[in-house]
Amino acid sequence: MNEFELIEKYFTRPAKRAKLGVGDDCAIITPTGDMELAVTTDTLISGRHFFPFVDPRKLGHKALAVNLSDLAAMGATPRYFTLALSLPKADPEWLQEFARGLFSLADSFHCELIGGDTVCGPLSITITALGELRRPFALRRDHARVGDDIWISGELGDAALALRVLNKQAKLSESEFAYVANRLEQPLPRVALGTALRPLAHAAIDISDGLIGDLKHVLKRSGVGAEVWLDRIPVSPVMSGQPLEMQFQCALAGGDDYELCFTARPENRRDIEAAGQSVGVRLTQVGQIVVGDTLQLLDKNGQPAQVVLQSFDHFA
Ligand code: ADP
Ligand code: MG
């Protein structure tokens, strides 16, 4: 199978929304009405972002999911994506499964593959996703305001806990591990939540490198500080069975959650809770935006909590 047969067989489907899809030098797309385009890119590298032996179907899902999560964090509706693949060899079984995982998530969000690149090399996957936004409602990192509530979707830390089990730093029962492994390998991007929050929230970010590290990006860009209440951090039943220190490390500084952290006026609490219910996602208020430039962790008595955390950084 040569490069072009591979593209034709696994990654070429008739164009739908796109004017021109896979097969020419460029794809051609027309944005809907007067919508703006939100564009994001994420790369997954074997041995760094996933284990080389990971199920290719789950890898196909995750490679797209992490990009759709970025679109969700802006409140954008996914429309198109491109796929740059570096593969050590053209393994039909692997490609079949990878494409299955990829397209199954893509189809569920009506997000269309419109092009890419395929080369022979160490396994890595780069996806660029494009979404549409009705101006002026992008959920930007620099729009948090003093007095805003800080909210989290879903539950934090399960993916980091799964990674610790895989690295033999924690132990779980088989069914507990199955639950957290699924959170690590098949995150569900919070797209419906992101669009529902567009008129309700000020700022948002998706949590990919740990709540604390990612919330700090919002604080810095917005020129504000935050108080976060440790006893409010939402965790799963599996996580709550772990020692407190493990819970804090995973939920506050673990990676790969792909939940949304957003800020909004207290007046919007009811509407936000209703939005969470309508899209079926648990939402928890975990703190408040304050004057300043620091992130203060508070214990259940409102006292500063002493926890030492390390967020992930590729170059640190
Ligand atoms: P060019 O040489 O003009 O860059 P290529 O030969 O790399 O084009 O690719 C041929 C066509 O196949 C292009 O339309 C490109 O977007 C598409 N393509 C290549 N690799 C992929 C892939 N992994 N997924 C989807 N489309 C791809
Ligand atoms: Mg060309």
Farthest CA pair distance, the chain:
64
Amino acid at site 39: V
Strand partners, 129: 40, 81
Amino acid at site 87: L
Q: What is the pLDDT of residue 181?
A: 97
**Model-level pTM greater than 0.75?**
yes
Q: Which atom of ligand 1 is nearest to the CA of 117?
A: 20
Residue 152: other Cβ atoms inside 10 A: 25
**How far, in Å, from the CA of 129 to the mean position of ligand 2?**
20
pLDDT bracket for residue 137 (50, 70, 90):
confident
Pocket test for ligand 1, best of 8, 118, 127, 128 (most atoms within 8 A of CB): 118
Please give the radius of gyration of the chain, using alpha carbons only, rounded to the nearest integer.
20
Res 135 pLDDT > 90: no
Residue 17: φ, ψ to 5°: -75, -35
Question: pLDDT tens digits, residue range 161-199?
Answer: 999 999 999 999 999 999 999 999 999 999 999 999 999
Work out the percent of the chain whose per-residue pLDDT is above 70.
98
For ligand 1, atom 20, name the residue with the nearest CA: 117
Question: pLDDT tens digits, residue range 16-42?
Answer: 999 999 999 999 999 999 999 999 999
Residue 13: φ, ψ to 5°: -135, 155
Nearest to 66 by CA among 218, 189, 197: 189
* Token pair recorded at residue 191: 């797209």
Question: pLDDT tens digits, residue range 264-314?
Answer: 999 999 999 999 999 999 999 999 999 999 999 999 999 999 887 766 666
Q: What is the pLDDT of residue 310?
A: 63
Cα angle vertex 25, ends 22, 29, to 5°? Answer: 60
Question: At 177, which helix (H) or strand (E)?
Answer: helix 174-185
| Angle between helix 211-222 and 244-253 (nearest 10) | 40
